[in-house]
């Protein structure tokens, strides 16, 4: 006889779930899309997991529910937080914490190897040697543009030349520096 009562309670819980689900599904989808930053696939995963967890809870503890519609939103939020935590754990284990599904996310730059550091130091030494051989006005131009990061109009004003002339001089300076970093004389 207890099995018959349990079966009825399960059927009642299922009908409560179906009624609440059909009423709030469009709102749940909108909320899931908002939580996932517009990712439709991730949102549908959240919806499916929400349905499963909510139905199982409603079957186990139907007497605990006072607001089935609101309960579905609470379950959605918990499912979302669980997915964020799980992804964070997986990312730390798999790739050191980078989550490429986030909108606008960029991979962190890997630390340069010893060989890359040595090559960079050599290039900087060639640039420094090239700068030391340049005339004072070229070194001043280098300082204005690359050390002080001054805009072209300010550089032109300081050099008392037209802005186009200042741009051309900086372009030529870049060309010399590029040649120096590539090992050319």
Per-residue pLDDT tens digits for 79-93: 898 888 888 777 666
What is the Cα gyration radius of the chain?
32
For the chain, give the mean pLDDT: 81
Q: Does some domain include residue 9? A: yes
- Which pLDDT belongs to residue 134? 86
Q: Is 90 exceeded by the pLDDT of residue 162?
A: yes
Q: Does some domain include residue 150? A: yes
Q: Does some domain include residue 106? A: no
Of the ranges 101-110, 114-123, 159-168, the best mean pLDDT one: 159-168
134 and 128 Cβ atoms separated by less than 8 Å: no
Same domain, 122 and 167: yes
Q: Is 60 exceeded by the pLDDT of residue 140?
A: yes
Of residues 11 and 99, the one with the higher pLDDT is: 11
Q: Is 70 exceeded by the pLDDT of residue 103?
A: no
Q: Does some domain include residue 65? A: yes
Q: Which domain covers residue 146, as residue numbers?
A: 114-181
Say which DSSP state 97 is in: T
Per-residue pLDDT tens digits for 1-54: 455 555 566 677 788 888 888 999 999 999 999 998 888 888 898 898 888 888
Backbone phi and psi for residue 124, each to the nearest 5 degrees, phi listed first: -65, -35
Same domain, 17 and 56: yes
Q: Does some domain include residue 105? A: no
The residue length of the chain stands at 185
Domain boundary among 36, 65, 95: 95
Number of independent structural domains in the chain: 2
Domain boundary among 62, 95, 128: 95
Helices 68-95 and 2-35 sit at what angle, rounded to 10 degrees? 60
Calpha distance 9→142 (Å, rounded) = 81
Q: Does some domain include residue 104? A: no
On whether the pTM is more than 0.85, the answer is: no
- Which pLDDT belongs to residue 117? 81
Say which DSSP state 161 is in: S
Backbone phi and psi for residue 109, each to the nearest 5 degrees, phi listed first: -70, 130
DSSP string across 24-71? HHHHHHHHHHHHTTT-HHHHHHHHHHHHHHHHHHHHH-GGG-S-HHHH
- Which pLDDT belongs to residue 87? 80
């Amino acid at each position: 006889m207890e099995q018959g009562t349990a079966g009825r309670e399960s059927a009642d819980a299922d009908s409560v779930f179906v009624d609440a689900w059909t009423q709030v599904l469009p709102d749940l989808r909108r909320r899931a899309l908002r939580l996932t930053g517009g990712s439709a696939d991730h949102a549908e995963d959240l919806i499916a997991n929400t349905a499963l967890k909510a139905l199982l809870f409603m079957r186990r503890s139907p007497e605990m529910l006072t607001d089935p519609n609101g309960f579905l939103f609470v379950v959605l939020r918990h499912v979302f937080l669980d997915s964020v935590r799980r992804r964070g754990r997986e990312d730390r284990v798999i790739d050191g914490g980078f989550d490429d599904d986030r909108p606008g996310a960029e991979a962190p730059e890997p630390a340069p190897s010893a060989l890359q550091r040595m090559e960079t130091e050599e290039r900087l030494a060639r640039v420094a040697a090239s700068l030391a051989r340049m005339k004072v006005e070229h070194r001043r131009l280098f300082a204005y543009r690359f050390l002080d990061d001054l805009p072209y109009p300010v550089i032109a004003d300081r050099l008392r030349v037209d802005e186009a002339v200042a741009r051309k001089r900086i372009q030529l300076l870049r060309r010399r520096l590029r040649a120096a970093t590539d090992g050319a004389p």
